[in-house]
């Protein structure tokens, strides 16, 4: 389930017509970087679960950033509000 959440974050900038922020890190780059991190961590955790149990903690710590990032980065977009989307994914990422 966590891998699917990461894949959604990777696809979200394109599905939701986000554009890269000209003045720094916006929702576009945040979603791409965080989605990549979640997919990589979940994939490694799936393959080497008994050798690297601390990766679940790292993945769970990304959840609060998912909630805070739209407010910190002051994201603006035309479709589904980034803030509402950010509130839906942390429980999925934290439960793995």
* Residues 6+ away with beta carbon under 8 Å from 76: 82
Structure tokens at 6: 């990461």
57-85 pLDDT, tens digit each: 888 888 888 888 877 776 555 444 555 55
**Residue 39 pLDDT:** 92
Angle at 37 between CA 66 and CA 30, to 5 degrees: 45
Structure tokens at 79: 């479709």
**Residue 95 pLDDT:** 47
**Residue 76 pLDDT:** 54
């Amino acid at each position: 389930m966590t891998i699917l959440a990461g894949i959604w974050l990777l696809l979200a900038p394109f599905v939701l017509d986000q554009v890269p922020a000209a003045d720094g890190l916006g929702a576009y780059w945040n979603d791409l970087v965080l989605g990549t991190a979640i997919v990589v961590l979940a994939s490694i955790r799936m393959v080497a679960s008994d050798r690297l149990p601390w990766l679940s903690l790292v993945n769970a710590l990304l959840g609060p950033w998912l909630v805070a990032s739209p407010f910190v980065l002051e994201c603006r977009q035309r479709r589904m509000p980034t803030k509402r989307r950010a509130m839906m994914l942390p429980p999925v990422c934290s439960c793995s």
